[in-house]
Structure 1
Amino acid sequence: MAGARAVGSLPVPNVQALAETCNGPDEPIPERYIRTEASSEEVISNYQGDMTIPIIDLHKFLSPQSSEEEYVKLRSACQYWGFFQLINHGVPDEVIANLKRDIVDFFIQPLDAKEEYSQLPNSLEGYGQAFVFSEDQKLDWADMLYIQVHPSDSRDLRFWPTSPASFRQSIDAYSSETKSLALCLFEFMAKAVDAEPESLLGIFEEQPRGLRMTYYPPCRQADKVMGISPHTDVVGLTLLLQVNDVQGLQIKRDGKWFNVDAPNGALIVNIGDTLEILSNGKFKSVEHRAVINPNKERISASLFHYPCENMVISPLPEFVKDGKVKYRSISYHDFMTQFFTEQLDGRNKLEILKLEQ
């Protein structure tokens, strides 16, 4: 993602180290991390019927007996949820297990070992933070390691850890195995709404992909902090891997927050702003956030799929069959720059691109 190499984030204290010093029940949390909204909105944990986050079985698209029903489920997931849980996705268990192991091993290292891969002032690649643009804004309770994984010749290996020794190999294998999976998803999503698969494949095939690995330390006063602020992803598509068994992802629907608990071995897929615009609103980019566990760390890995940075994003003719264009055009570079240089604010950046209907 070239955009991540054009903007930076202000340096702030390492949250993992901070958590070790202020994680007693009576220890004060620094004011910049206290988020009153963390516990002020309703959260739904047990959903039923049409309030269940869809589970999509990728294998069923390959069977004539089950593909039609699965396309219906996928269309509903893309139009009404913007998120779904993907099973039978074809990424080998060994590849996922190796990546999980190495991500955990990276984050449990001493701080000075991780800081060898620290971000540079004008880039989000490396170990550190994102979305910190002022000295007085509220901060998220998390640290991250972000790297660009595709194209392979664009990788900046300064930020690719060499400890654990197998880390680079694990990331490379995961990137390779998920490449065809993402293309399948773009193809099936287009077919689900009766659009030509090439309409999306031509935009995302062989384009940049970035991997963000996030460590959310525990906090005894978890209801006072936020793992990551409510936002939508600016990208086309995100594949989220839950690295350990601690959940924390929540999505917003009808003004309420829903917990997303990924089945073992599943990937969580969410639609980004770019795909909502390209589909003229047929696919929905949904506001989501991460909350903190009081006793255990949470670790996740998000694989972002970007379009060409030089493109102008606007509704594709394939998705505007009724002639009603619903979104303004914007250069993806400008959209990315805006996203990474301003505070996360739910769906607001996307909403301002909507045309009056």
Structure 2
Amino acid sequence: METPTLIKLGNGLSVPCVQELAKHTLAEIPSRYICTDENPLTVSVIDHETVPVIDLQNLLSLDPVIGKLELDKLHSACKEWGFFQLVNHGVDTLLVDSVKSEIEGFFNLPMDEKAKYGHKDGDEEGFGQHFVVSEDQKLDWADMFYMVTLPHHLRKPHLFPELPLPLRETMESYSSELNKLSMVLLEMMEKALQVAEAKGITKFFEDGFQQMRMNYYPPCPRPELVTGLTSHSDFGGLTILLQLNEVEGLQIKKDERWISVKPLPDAFIVNVGDVLE
């Protein structure tokens, strides 16, 4: 088998590009990717519970009864789950389809093209795996591309401004639309918490700090042995997740149990981050 392509990380470590690794017929999974957790997530996954679904158009309804019912659902979802699926979100379907297509196209670029967006020394932004701090650390079965998108002056000149067209234009529009959507959701959360007049939440997000992370999970011959993304909590305010296909993989932890998320068509999955919690 050919030597897998390595991606150099900002801290000096080099790790294999999983997408390139997965192109080969693997007799066995490399040991660094094998999850050694004594309680693997797949053992205790609950399938009969479903993440709450919030309809944005109902939230914004001029009918006070409809609006109040949906607002109560939002409050409960944030309080009890910290997650919900958002439908009728108002982001143009053609834009969302373009985002999916262009991201897929990026990951299908030749490796030498993607390597141009690799990490610089001392920086976590860019293409590759993240938070790898030692040669002994277990690796996720995924390739990632992470960058700050808002405010504009924080964009790294070798990343967003250098994205190939039309990906750059598509992501510019998507960034703007998600920023607007985030503020609407935060306003609704203020309303649910009865702090809307004081802008108790939105005032902390008015500068619009936004980061985007694109994750690619290649097929794996032994998926039960690997983890696509190590369990974690998101540190920010809101995470708005767009899944490019209907393959189930996301799991969330509620009441010490792991619950599989079945993504709805044309929906966003919203995660309330540590800052808001």
Note whether the superposition's TM-score is higher than 0.5. Answer: yes
The 8 Å contact of residues 147 and 211 in structure 1, kept in 2 or not, is answered as yes
The offset of 1:173, in angstroms, is: 0.3
Give the counterpart of 1:15 among 8, 18, 27: 18
The offset of 1:254, in angstroms, is: 2.0
Aligned pair 1:43/2:45, yes or no? yes
What's the secondary structure of 1:165's corresponding residue? coil
TM-score (norm 2): 0.90
The offset of 1:245, in angstroms, is: 2.7
What's the secondary structure of 1:179's corresponding residue? helix
**Which structure 2 residue ranges, 5 or more long, are not aligned?**
1-9
TM-score (norm 1): 0.70
The 8 Å contact of residues 42 and 224 in structure 2, kept in 1 or not, is answered as no
In structure 2, relative to structure 1, the CA distance for the partners of 1:192 and 1:8 (3 Å cut) is: farther
What is the alpha-carbon distance in structure 2 between the residues aligned to residue 22 and residue 75 of structure 1? 48
What is the alpha-carbon distance in structure 2 between the residues aligned to residue 236 and residue 157 of structure 1? 25
The 8 Å contact of residues 43 and 257 in structure 1, kept in 2 or not, is answered as yes
The offset of 1:16, in angstroms, is: 0.9
What is the alpha-carbon distance in structure 1 between the residues aligned to residue 273 and residue 190 of structure 2? 15
- Residue identity matched to 1:85: Q
What's the secondary structure of 1:231's corresponding residue? coil
The 8 Å contact of residues 234 and 274 in structure 2, kept in 1 or not, is answered as yes
The offset of 1:161, in angstroms, is: 7.5
What is the alpha-carbon distance in structure 1 between the residues aligned to residue 82 and residue 111 of structure 2? 36
The offset of 1:81, in angstroms, is: 0.4
Q: How does 1:204-353 map to 2 (within 5 A)?
A: 204-276=205-277
* Structure 2 partner of 1:88: 88
What's the secondary structure of 2:29's corresponding residue? coil
The 8 Å contact of residues 247 and 261 in structure 1, kept in 2 or not, is answered as yes
What's the RMSD between the two structures over aligned residues?
1.7
The 8 Å contact of residues 141 and 216 in structure 1, kept in 2 or not, is answered as yes
The 8 Å contact of residues 117 and 161 in structure 1, kept in 2 or not, is answered as no
What's the secondary structure of 1:189's corresponding residue? helix
What is the alpha-carbon distance in structure 2 between the residues aligned to residue 232 and residue 9 of structure 1? 26
What is the alpha-carbon distance in structure 2 between the residues aligned to residue 258 and residue 228 of structure 1? 15
**Which structure 1 residue ranges, 5 or more long, are not aligned?**
1-6, 277-357
The 8 Å contact of residues 128 and 145 in structure 2, kept in 1 or not, is answered as yes
The offset of 1:8, in angstroms, is: 4.8
What's the secondary structure of 1:65's corresponding residue? helix
The 8 Å contact of residues 39 and 224 in structure 1, kept in 2 or not, is answered as no
What is the alpha-carbon distance in structure 2 between the residues aligned to residue 93 and residue 118 of structure 1? 30
CA deviation string 1:237-256 (max 9, x = no partner) = 10000022322110011222
Higher relative contact order (CA 8 A, sep 6+): 2
What's the secondary structure of 2:23's corresponding residue? helix
- Residue identity matched to 2:134: S
* Structure 2 partner of 1:279: none
What is the alpha-carbon distance in structure 1 between the residues aligned to residue 223 and residue 253 of structure 2? 19
CA deviation string 1:270-316 (max 9, x = no partner) = 0111111xxxxxxxxxxxxxxxxxxxxxxxxxxxxxxxxxxxxxxxx
* Structure 2 partner of 1:160: 160
* Structure 2 partner of 1:194: 194
CA deviation string 1:123-159 (max 9, x = no partner) = 1111111111111011111111111111123222311
CA deviation string 1:172-226 (max 9, x = no partner) = 0001111111011111112112223611110011231000000011101000000
Q: Which runs of 4+ in 1 moved over 4 A?
A: 161-164
The 8 Å contact of residues 250 and 260 in structure 1, kept in 2 or not, is answered as yes
What is the alpha-carbon distance in structure 1 between the residues aligned to residue 154 and residue 160 of structure 2? 12
What is the alpha-carbon distance in structure 1 between the residues aligned to residue 233 and residue 212 of structure 2? 16
What is the alpha-carbon distance in structure 2 between the residues aligned to residue 163 and residue 202 of structure 1? 31
- Residue identity matched to 2:14: P
In structure 2, relative to structure 1, the CA distance for the partners of 1:243 and 1:147 (3 Å cut) is: same
Aligned length: 263
* Structure 2 partner of 1:355: none
- Residue identity matched to 2:18: V
The 8 Å contact of residues 41 and 258 in structure 2, kept in 1 or not, is answered as no
Q: How does 1:42-121 map to 2 (within 5 A)?
A: 42-47=44-49, 52-63=50-61, 64-121=64-121
In structure 2, relative to structure 1, the CA distance for the partners of 1:8 and 1:170 (3 Å cut) is: farther
- Residue identity matched to 1:65: V
What is the alpha-carbon distance in structure 1 between the residues aligned to residue 13 and residue 53 of structure 2? 38
CA deviation string 1:92-141 (max 9, x = no partner) = 11111111110000001121111111111211111111111111011111
Identity score, percent: 44
What's the secondary structure of 2:231's corresponding residue? strand
Q: Which stretch shows the higher mean deviation, 71-80 or 38-47?
A: 38-47
The offset of 1:160, in angstroms, is: 2.9
The 8 Å contact of residues 235 and 275 in structure 1, kept in 2 or not, is answered as yes
The offset of 1:22, in angstroms, is: 4.7
